[in-house]
Amino acid sequence: MTTLAQPPGPADLQVVAAAVTDPLVEPLLRELGHEYTTRYGSQAHQELARYPDEEFTPARGGALLLLLEDGAPVAGGAFRRYDAVTAELKRIWTHSGHRRRGLARRVVAELEREAAARGYRRVYLTTGPRQPEARGLYLATGYTPLFDTAADPETIGPLPFEKHLRPAAAPAPPARRGPAHHNPPPAPPPARVPERPPHP
């Protein structure tokens, strides 16, 4: 588990990078499995097992981030490498006891920031047709739907979205060291040319 640099935000939330096998990730996987099964039936577990854990590691171009409050996970999410310039968001989760606090927005923003820092320029994702909360989240956070939003979601299947990322800000150049800057001394006045004596 790695603690990441914290952007401005609630002081009691800590952002950490974790492996899928980290015990702190277990509540995320358990609740996602229960929610997917409730909404989509037994085939939902296939979604959680679709990608090997290595897909969400930095070595494979991915990441898994958790928000911790008092050391306990309250929200999280991951991305994997979709192509050379695109990260695919997966496993977005908010603990059932901590919803309606804007934590999912924070997770998405953290994942976008991490993806941009890794050089990705686009984020792609799909959400299920029976997850209107997720659909609303992505529309509210600037994602472009790649489907007809007027159509019945059940006739579409997985609902795809995309968002183009701004490049990560370059670090500021180091401050120049050396003597303090002084104003240059004023230039000396031009030399006076002696006047020629008048002719006699």
Instruction: Give the per-residue pLDDT at 12.
Output: 80
Instruction: Give the per-residue pLDDT at 3.
Output: 59
pTM attached to this predicted model: 0.78
Instruction: Give the per-residue pLDDT at 126.
Output: 97
- The Cβ of residue 101 has, within 10 Å, a number of other Cβ atoms equal to 15
Confirm if 138 and 112 have CB atoms less than 8 A apart.
Answer: no
Q: In whole angstroms, what is the distance from residue 124 CA to residue 90 CA?
A: 10
Instruction: Give the per-residue pLDDT at 49.
Output: 84
Only one residue has tokens 């171009």, namely 61
10-residue mean pLDDT profile of the chain (200 residues): values are 52 90 94 90 80 96 97 96 98 90 96 97 96 95 97 95 86 53 53 50
Instruction: Give the per-residue pLDDT at 163.
Output: 98
Q: Which domains does the chain have, with CATH numbers?
A: 2-164 (3.40.630.30)
Only one residue has tokens 């230039």, namely 187
E strand segments, the chain? 2-3, 13-17, 63-69, 72-83, 86-94, 122-127, 144-145, 159-164
Instruction: Give the per-residue pLDDT at 200.
Output: 46
Question: Helix (H, G, I), strand (E, B), or coil: what is residue 101?
Answer: coil
96 closest CA partner among 17, 35, 40: 35
